[in-house]
Amino acid sequence: MSFVVPVGPQHPALEEPEHFRFTVEGEEIVDVDFRLGYMHRGIEKAFEEKSFPRALYLAERICGICSGIHSIACVEAVEELAGVEAPRRARFLRTVLAELERVHSHLLWAGIAAHEIGFMTLFHLTWRDREHVLDVLEMLTGNRVNYAANKIGGVRFDVEPKHLGKISNVLDDLEEDALRYMDVFTSDRTITARCEGEGVLSKGEALRLATVGPTARASGVDEDMRRDDPFAAYGEIDVDVKTAEGGDVLANAEVRLSEILESINILRNAVEQLPEGPLSVDAPKKIPEGQATNRVEAPRGELLYHFKSDGGEKPSRGKVRTPTMANIPAIIEKLKGETIAEIPIVVASIDPCFCCTERVQIVDKNTGKTQTLTKKELREMREE
Amino acid sequence: MVLWAEVLTSIVKFLIFPGIVFSFVVGLFFEGIDRKISAHMQHRIGPPIWQPFLDVGKLFTKEDITPSNAEGWLFNFAPYLGFGAIITVMLMLPVYAAQPAFSAAADLIVIIYLLNIPALAIMLAGVSSSSSFGTVGTERYVVQLFAFELPFIIASLTVAAQANWTLSLEGIVAYQQANGWLLWELPLAAAAILLVAPGKLLKTPFDIPEAETEIVYGPLTEYSGPKLAVFNVMENIKILAVAGFITALFLGGPTAHVIAGVQIPAIVDFLIKTIAILILITLIRTVTARLRIHQALKFYWGFVAIIALINLVYVMVI
């Protein structure tokens, strides 16, 4: 006998409202259906109502965890449109911001993964250590979450000599912590029992479904925008891309934890090589007509920003594709043949950020059926 | 007159000590200790140890809801069934002396069965609530019950066999007072029963039937208000009862001591031993992740039951 287990919109395993419907037989999952749209905020439309500097503030608020990388992606797309280039020091500082954020995001993921498999101690300890990264971010930018660190043409914060001691202390501690968590994740019997061989995504499927970021790298796909399409100062700093084989939850954990170590290396290099110079250059208020696309590597994978200007102060179109959007098909593939016990950790293994990814979905309130609109129907709706 | 005095003593035993009031207070303090210790292990401050009293008190003031889809009478009856059974266990355990408040012909067998009635009550609750989380939780609980019950019974029987086939707890405690703790004589059976305890009490890594991130709260998902409070109290008294049962079987039961001329009552000894077992359970739950249901079954039948069986065979042959 099969029955439906609803997960969400309110469920302890999900940090955000999202609705999954699992058809199960006993414990085994036979079908998955999910529904988006609980947190649609209409941000792409809102871009068109704001001037470019204000669009930057909006972009920063798309995600509460990777807010820094959103603003970097946005600001670099706008800079490309405006034809200005941020000074070299500013680009290095953006790298520092992006890597600090990657460290705290991956630690946060490790904690959530531990929570999903019921390992509360590991959850509390990783989140305790994550606080140190937030402290550094607060020291540098004045904020813990939305840093407001970028502006068109440069950055609004600086790494001063008095900060260096604290940064190097925190990095040393973090390196120790990351190595310890790496050891815990790969050697603890109860963790490996839950994570090894679960939620497998083969390399072929990962390529076919166009997954991005750590999810793809855990399946052995060697891609990283920091190396393949450098932004900020990554062109001048070596990035060692970490991949793993297997594509299961454990491989995801290994990739993310070794990325923390790599981020610490990058941070050390970036702070050491930090060039002297101005923090920003002036940017025009009116942005010349044109289009620009920018790809960056967010903690969760490739993040794409596209802006179009018609020569005024406001963008005429802004488009965002967040990494979770690209990775959602992977969830379905990973959950095939798994059991109910695997739902939370497998969904969490792609490090989903649903609120960034939110799209409108048309749902019939009475039957719960979803509907796809064709291009023609969309056009008709616009004309109405 | 003698009859009246006896009836009065029985009522006091049932209502106050070691019955409802004592079990309620100590059970909730046990949860408080558990939460405080695990919080410190996790580098948190944690709630004060009287927090469970506030939680339960608050639940009792909430509205009593019966979901419209639920099987009404069963849904409302289940918490009291479990609560009654666990109080009976407390009355049959040696708490303040080797002699329990009430005893039957074969205490051991009766207690083994009564300790399962709270589990059955939770299963009835899960099925009667007509929620898919409740159904999945109940399915898991049935499997887990069969998993841990086998080593639990084998380990208990090993103790009975060692104590010259007595099935009364009083006899087992008396045997230990004469020959020393059975923990040293039957280390494998003791290890088995200590590994069964987290499974019986639904503590990580065996909190599978009520796995929060997977199936919300399993069988008790639909419960709220006073009925949830009764279930909470029942689960906390169950910690005390299981720890007390292990104390009676392996740690010599409640023993009175005289230290430096001061008479220390047996109840203090009992509480110290049960808290030690509680701390062990807390330690296990703090350092592990939740297992999957078939892994729990494999662990209990493939490992715990085997070591208990080895000990039973050893006792019976030698």
Note whether B290 contacts A: Cβ–Cβ < 8 A: yes
Alpha-carbon span A353 to A248, nearest angstrom = 19
Query: In chain B, what percentage of residues exceed pLDDT 90?
Result: 33
**Cα B111 from Cα B241, distance rounded (Å):** 10
pLDDT for B83: 92
| Residue A365 forms part of a structural domain | no
DSSP letters spanning A148-177? --EETTEES----HHHHHHHHHHHHHHHHH
A115 chain-B contacts, CB cut-off 8 A: 213
A1/B contact by beta carbon, under 8 A: no
Could you give the CA distance from residue A192 to residue B307 in angstroms, rounded to a whole number?
24
> Which residues are within 8 A (CB) of B17 and not within 5 positions of it... i.e. 6 or more apart?
B96
Q: Which amino acid, A331?
A: I
Inter-chain residue contact A190 with B205, CB threshold 8 Å: yes
pLDDT in tens, A334-374: 887 788 888 888 888 888 887 777 777 777 777 767 777 77
Q: In this complex, is the C-beta atom of B195 within 8 Å of any C-beta atom belonging to chain A?
A: no
Find the angle CA(A298)-CA(A304)-CA(A310) to the nearest 5 degrees. 140
Instruction: Show pLDDT as tens, one digit a residue, over chain A (384 residues).
Output: 677 878 878 877 777 788 888 888 877 888 887 777 788 888 888 888 888 888 888 888 888 888 889 999 999 999 888 889 889 899 999 999 999 999 999 999 999 989 888 888 899 999 999 999 999 999 998 888 888 888 888 888 888 888 888 889 999 999 998 999 999 888 888 888 888 888 888 888 888 988 888 999 989 888 888 888 888 888 888 888 888 888 888 898 889 999 999 999 999 988 888 888 888 888 888 888 889 998 999 888 888 999 888 888 888 888 888 888 888 888 888 887 788 888 888 888 888 887 777 777 777 777 767 777 777 887 887 776
A4, A7, A10, A117, best to mutate vs chain B, most B CBs in 10 Å? A117
Contacts of B140 in chain A (CB under 8 A): 27
- In-domain check, residue A39: no
Say yes or no: A340 contacts chain B, CB-CB below 8 A: yes
More confident of the two residues B109 and A2: B109
How many contacts (CB atoms, under 8 Å) link A and B? 84
Nearest Cβ partner of B292 from A4, A6, A341?
A341
Q: Is the pLDDT of residue B1 over 70?
A: no
Contacts of B205 in chain A (CB under 8 A): 118, 190
What confidence tier does B64 reach under pLDDT thresholds 50, 70, 90? confident
Give φ, ψ of A212 to 5 degrees: -130, 165
**Predicted confidence band of residue B265 (pLDDT cuts 50, 70, 90):** confident
Across residues B107-115, what is the average pLDDT?
Answer: 89
Q: Is residue A370 part of a domain?
A: no
ipTM: 0.85
In this structure, is residue A241 part of a structural domain? Answer: yes
Contact of A29 with chain B, judged by CB distance below 8 Å, is answered with no
pLDDT band at B2 (very low <50, low <70, confident <90, very high): confident
Taking an 8 Å cut-off on Cβ atoms, the answer to whether A121 and B212 are in contact is no
Domain total for chain A?
A: 1
CATH code of residue A137? 1.10.645.10
Asked if the C-beta of A207 comes within 8 angstroms of chain B's C-beta atoms, the answer is no
Q: Do A118 and B212 lie within an 8 Å CB cutoff? A: yes
Establish if A261 belongs to a structural domain.
yes
Q: Does pLDDT of B183 surpass 90?
A: no
Residue A265 lies in a domain: yes
> Which domain covers residue A182, as residue numbers?
46-304
pTM listed for this prediction: 0.87
Chain A residue whose CA is closest to B137:
A27
What residues 44-83 of chain B have any CB closer than 8 A to a CB of chain A?
Answer: 44
Contact across the interface for B213 and A116, Cβ inside 8 Å: yes
Q: Which amino acid is at A1?
A: M
Strand order of the β-sheet with A28-35 is A2-7, A19-25, A28-35
Q: Is A340 part of any domain? A: no
CB interface of B with A, residues 81-110, below 8 Å: none
Residue A168: inside a domain: yes
Element (H, E) at B241: helix B225-250
Contact call for residues A309 and A50 (beta carbons, < 8 A): no
